[in-house]
Structure 1
Amino acid sequence: MRYSLHPLFRLPRKQKRTIQLVVDAVLIASSFLLAMLLRLESWTPLAEARTWLALLLLIPLSLAIYVRLGFYRAVIRYLGPKAIRAVIIGVVISALSLALASYLFALGIPRSVPFIYAMLALLTIGGVRFGLRAIYLRSQIRHKPRVVIYGAGSAGRQLAVSLSHGQEYLPIAFVDDALGLQNTFIEGLKVYPPRQLGYLADTYGAERVLLAMPSVARSRRREILAELEPQGFPVQTIPGVADMVTGRARISEVRDVAVEDLLGRDPVPPNPTLMEANIRGKVVLVSGAGGSIGSELCRQIMRHCPSLLLLLDISEFALYRIEQDLKRIAAEEGLTVRVEALLGSVQHRERLTTVLTSYEVQTVYHAAAYKHVPMVEHNVVEGVQNNVFGTLSTAHAAMEAGVETFVLVSTDKAVRPTNVMGTTKRLAELICQAFARHQSATRFCMVRFGNVLGSSGSVVPLFRGQIQAGGPITVTHPDITRFFMTIPEAAQLVIQAGAMARGGDVFVLDMGEPVRIAELARQMVRLSGLKVRDERNPDGDIAIAYSGLRPGEKLFEELLVGEDVAPTSHPRIMTAQEVFWEWSRLEGFLDQLFDACRNFHHDGIRRLLQEAPTAYRPQDDIVDLVWLQKRRGKASIPQAPAAVTPLRPVLERHK
């Protein structure tokens, strides 16, 4: 049946309407003639002229009524309660018109015929439409996965209606933990308690659960997912309320469960006063604007109306991408913020000074850095030059240009680092701390936090891709843990922390509880409806392979160097008092570090990094790729000529 009707459903709308008009004309005539036959119990009146005159009046009049009521605008496969009402109203008006025509033109139609006609027309005209709809839906049901909707609220009801008419899923039931809803029927589907999901799978073939609770707190979503996880159902969710309200997503766009739901951290609403303090009406520059944190900072900043937003990045593609994204946001949200994209390296001090001075920049968010631990371990010199001397150049330029506020985006890997990346970020903090003590015109502060979800190199998209490929999921160590925060929350807290700065502050963000990466991987496997394959379950679907810690990688990350931490006015921002060097001492150290980098003296670089007050304790040998190649004797690394000192001006004492 599905294949015989398939061409009919695919006809152009104009042809479908013509077919409906012809069929309705036949059904109207059949209903009227049958009504006459049933009333008079004889074929004789059917041969009379009055019968055919009534029919000639009834057919065009009824069709005109149906057109007016929108019969032929409705799509048969999507007919609902409104269509039923329209059919009833149309048939009743048609029957009344028949009675009126019989009276006005003295046709002598028996008074009971219009009532009989109405019942027959309702059965035929309505029955054909809903019969075709039923045939179409039945043909689709065979090929649609059966799903259970978790949440019988307004979002769940809308989702059920949308899916019923769609091609992807067939909703067969609701589950909800609200006792008042259980055992009731909503949109024709029964509401069950969550504990009966197994029954729904065994009895009705439910294959997955769709979580339809977009506005519930993230902590509650985590509880629900924890309840669903052992039952082995693939779990997906609908978009958030914000995405649906702004039109970025539809309720029927089912998505995989976001890792934010697994972590269950509820964001704290931002403080508008703090968000706007360094932004509204000011000229703001973001270095590293194309990166994960930098790009989100730009989005947040633009929504708080600076007079000018400058995007600085060395990557042309990343800079183009964030510029286009900001233009899209401005068009969608009606923002008139001026945005300019500038190519440049944070190591180019003259370029930075010219930019900051020319635009009279007032606030700088310095997010430009190399952050991938193994990559920096393999490219030590570039890591030091970008993260240390890039920060030094940017900070010097900011002071020379009279910038009011300089906010350094730091990392938890700067605390007792075991890798070069973390050590260079701690050195960047020391530079800002020294400059804060050395002068007072520019307020320097640092904001330190852990991993952000969805950033470049994040484990979450990596795990998801490995699950889709059939595994295995690669985890470095069974006990490795990390702090996690969403990119929007991190950017908001960075902006708010910068507004609280007095000079030299080290702000530490409350990252919540650390997450075991291996357990996160297991949760993602189970919520995909699969089973982890291990010694206890050799027949599972996805294995977890442990690859060993990478160079410079720690098992556990920390956020504080010492114990001297104090709360601030924001519940998720703390301030720490930590050791640092005065600029007079730090300057000499940076001079030596610069020479070691310029001459590719990796042993000297490591020795100097260990001498600084960074608590750097490397756990591995040097793995810089150039240094290893040099040791193999396959290439010699020439030292830079003594006269070539491209970064030496950076180390001149700030006057």
Structure 2
Amino acid sequence: MNSAVRFISLLVVDFIIINLSFICSYIVRFEQVEALLPNLVNYLQISPVIILIFLACFCYFKIYKRVWAYASIGELITIVQAVTAGSVIVIVLTYLTGAMLPRSIVLTSWAFIILLLGSSRLCWRLHLEVRKNSCRKGKNTLIVGAGDAGVLVAKELKNHDSGLVPVGFIDDDPNKWRLSVLSLPVFGNREKIEKTVNKHNVQLIIIAMPSADARQIKQIFEICRKTNKEVKILPGYYQLIDGNVKINQLRPVKIEDLLHREPVKLNLNEISGYIKGETVLITGAGGSIGSELCRQAAGFKPKLLVILGHGENSIHKIWLELQEKFKDIPLGVEIADVRDKQKINSVFQKYRPAVVFHAAAHKHVPLMEYHPDEAVKTNVLGTYNVVEAADRAGTKQFVLISTDKAVNPSSVMGATKRLAELIIQNADKTSNTKFVAVRFGNVLGSRGSVVPIFEEQIKKGGPVTVTHPKMKRYFMTIPEAVQLVIQAGSMADGGEIFILDMGKPVKIVDLARDMIKLSGLEPDKDIEIKFTGVRPGEKLFEELLTEQEGVASTTHKRIFVAKPCLFELAELEKQLLYISANANNIDDKIIFAILDLIIPNFKNYRDKLVG
């Protein structure tokens, strides 16, 4: 139906409704035929003016521009406003002109018009819904969760031709059982999922429980997986924009959902206070942590965002992404290696950044055991170069991205990151810059992390390799870790090592089993799990604190601060100068001797290396 035909049709319907409402009002007001007929004759004489007034009000309130197929409370309020305005104008005109129209008739007709007008639009909506549902074809879809999120999903599926047809809900709340939501039944609790799927030929299950914890999601996913049907999940509310749900936000269940913890809550005022309007520089900006730091820092509207890294491909990729997503944020792009002291100094003097996030590092534990000189050059000397450059440039806040492997280190990577922590704590004592470190565990999906390795192994049909059945690690998502890093930066007084609450450690073998199940396969049946033995430098359990450090709380419940440990500054500076002077020809044995000297609790596994 084109717009002109639609407009004329609605005018005709409303013409009939207004007349019918006034006639009904007269019948209610005048019960005797002798009194009714003369009054109706009087009404017919002034009815053209009355109808014109109401239709003009309907046009003014844009009733004819509403899409009544999606009418809701907002449309009903508009109808009430338009009818009320028309009734008031009619009363005023009859008073001024002395027309024979009792005010009680106008008041009664007000109720009739609202009732009939609303009913006509509701009938039209119901007609369209019935016609749409009868013609709709697609996957029968079961929604797990009949709360606010589930209702939003059902509305989206019903209002758009998405190829998904909702058949009903599953909800653990017994008060909702055998009731209907949006004309869709609530079949029962999670135990009814399998029966409902078979009875209603369900092809897709959507888990719409954004506030549920990992344990609940995992239990429901296990039940859904047994049906051998496709399972998708709605992300948490904090990942949704304005609380709206779109079909493209539904996605397959990921390992992050099964490890999900309480969403990070940020103090936006604190963060904006030290990033907004400032020049921010991020080293290692092409890496998984560095690139996410770029995205989130850009969201706080810095005056200039400088992205620095030595890998041109990764830097080019994040540069293009930032240009597309943050068109109003000026960008500085630098291809530079943190080991190049002269170039780093030049970059810092060029931009004079107020805030620095130092994410550049070598992080692969086994590789660094074989190449300790490279670990020292990047993680130690690179950090030293950036720290000195920041001090000279008058940087206000400097945040080092550290790791739980720096605690009682058993690897070269961990020991060099511990040295990096000591470097920033040492620099903080003599500089106006506030130097801090943020220490956390593994991040899901980062380059070299276990998750993409397992994914690749599962794609190839296995085996999935786990080093040890008792191996445990702390895990966070990349956005979650970066949010807390940025928040910790706002708390800096100088010299602190902030520690992020990583939740409970996860057994790597359990992670492997969950990922195999997420792929629709059975562990040890479809995909073998093979134990390969602990690699050089690895520990079965990672720690977030040394015994000497202890921990103190901060204003953020997910961020703690380690109490500073005393160390010999003179010895640290002496060894750093030696490393710096001999970086290009330093012997591995000397590196281990220096690490042992500066870090007494460094557990040297070098003798276990082969070849």
TM-score by length of 2: 0.72
Pairwise CA distance, 1:385 = 0.3
What does residue 560 of structure 1 align with?
Answer: 545
Q: Residues 229, 566 of structure 1: CA spacing in aligned structure 2 closer, same or farther, 3 A cutoff?
A: same
In structure 2, distance between residues paired with 1:180 and 1:373: 53
In structure 1, distance between residues paired with 2:244 and 2:334: 29
SS in 2 for 1:180: helix
1:577 partnered with 2:549:
no
Q: Residues 618, 511 of structure 1: CA spacing in aligned structure 2 closer, same or farther, 3 A cutoff?
A: same
1:260 pairs with one of 243, 256, 260: 256
1:150 partnered with 2:160:
no
1:544 partnered with 2:567:
no
1:330 partnered with 2:347:
no
1:368 partnered with 2:360:
yes
1:225 partnered with 2:225:
no
In structure 2, distance between residues paired with 1:404 and 1:224: 43
What does residue 169 of structure 2 align with?
Answer: 174
Q: Residues 508, 131 of structure 1: CA spacing in aligned structure 2 closer, same or farther, 3 A cutoff?
A: closer
Encode CA deviations 1:3-53: one digit per residue, 9 max, x unaligned.
xxxxxxxxxxxxxxxxxxxxxxxxxxxxxxxxxxxxxxxxxxxxxxxxxxx
What does residue 512 of structure 1 align with?
Answer: 503
Write the letter of the residue equivalent to 1:598.
N
1:485 partnered with 2:467:
no
What does residue 393 of structure 1 align with?
Answer: 385
Write the letter of the residue equivalent to 1:423.
A
Pairwise CA distance, 1:607 = 2.2
Q: Residues 564, 81 of structure 1: CA spacing in aligned structure 2 closer, same or farther, 3 A cutoff?
A: closer
What does residue 618 of structure 1 align with?
Answer: 604
Encode CA deviations 1:265-291: one digit per residue, 9 max, x unaligned.
112311123312331222221111111
SS in 1 for 2:498: strand
In structure 2, distance between residues paired with 1:425 and 1:380: 12
What does residue 316 of structure 1 align with?
Answer: 312
Write the letter of the residue equivalent to 2:211.
A
In structure 2, distance between residues paired with 1:485 and 1:433: 25
Q: Residues 130, 285 of structure 1: CA spacing in aligned structure 2 closer, same or farther, 3 A cutoff?
A: closer
What does residue 297 of structure 1 align with?
Answer: 293
Pairwise CA distance, 1:510 = 1.4
What does residue 428 of structure 1 align with?
Answer: 420
Pairwise CA distance, 1:543 = 2.6
Residue pair 1:430, 1:580 contacting (<8 A) in 2 also: no
Write the letter of the residue equivalent to 1:554.
K
2:270 pairs with one of 264, 274, 289: 274
SS in 2 for 1:431: helix
In structure 1, distance between residues paired with 2:239 and 2:268: 22
Moved more, 398-407 or 227-236: 227-236
Count of residues in correspondence between the two structures: 485
SS in 2 for 1:311: strand
Q: Residues 251, 504 of structure 1: CA spacing in aligned structure 2 closer, same or farther, 3 A cutoff?
A: same
Encode CA deviations 1:65-84: one digit per residue, 9 max, x unaligned.
xxxxxxxxxxxxxxx899xx
Residue pair 1:162, 1:252 contacting (<8 A) in 2 also: no
SS in 2 for 1:390: helix
Encode CA deviations 1:369-425: one digit per residue, 9 max, x unaligned.
111212222322111101100001111111222222221111101001111111110
Residue pair 1:218, 1:260 contacting (<8 A) in 2 also: no
Structure 2: which 5+ residue stretches go unaligned? 1-68, 72-125
What does residue 104 of structure 1 align with?
Answer: none
Residue pair 2:309, 2:360 contacting (<8 A) in 1 also: yes
What does residue 191 of structure 1 align with?
Answer: 186
Encode CA deviations 1:498-552: one digit per residue, 9 max, x unaligned.
222222211111111111121122223334443322xxxxxx3333222222221
Residue pair 1:243, 1:249 contacting (<8 A) in 2 also: no
Write the letter of the residue equivalent to 1:613.
I
Pairwise CA distance, 1:615 = 1.9
Q: Residues 308, 176 of structure 1: CA spacing in aligned structure 2 closer, same or farther, 3 A cutoff?
A: same
Structure 1: which 5+ residue stretches go unaligned? 1-79, 83-125, 534-539, 629-655
Residue pair 1:434, 1:580 contacting (<8 A) in 2 also: no
Encode CA deviations 1:298-330: one digit per residue, 9 max, x unaligned.
222222222221111111111112222222222
What does residue 502 of structure 1 align with?
Answer: 493
Write the letter of the residue equivalent to 2:605.
Q
Pairwise CA distance, 1:595 = 6.0
How much identity, in percent, do the aligned residues show? Answer: 41
Residue pair 1:229, 1:523 contacting (<8 A) in 2 also: no
What does residue 451 of structure 1 align with?
Answer: 442
Write the letter of the residue equivalent to 1:367.
A
In structure 1, distance between residues paired with 2:131 and 2:211: 43
In structure 2, distance between residues paired with 1:184 and 1:605: 71
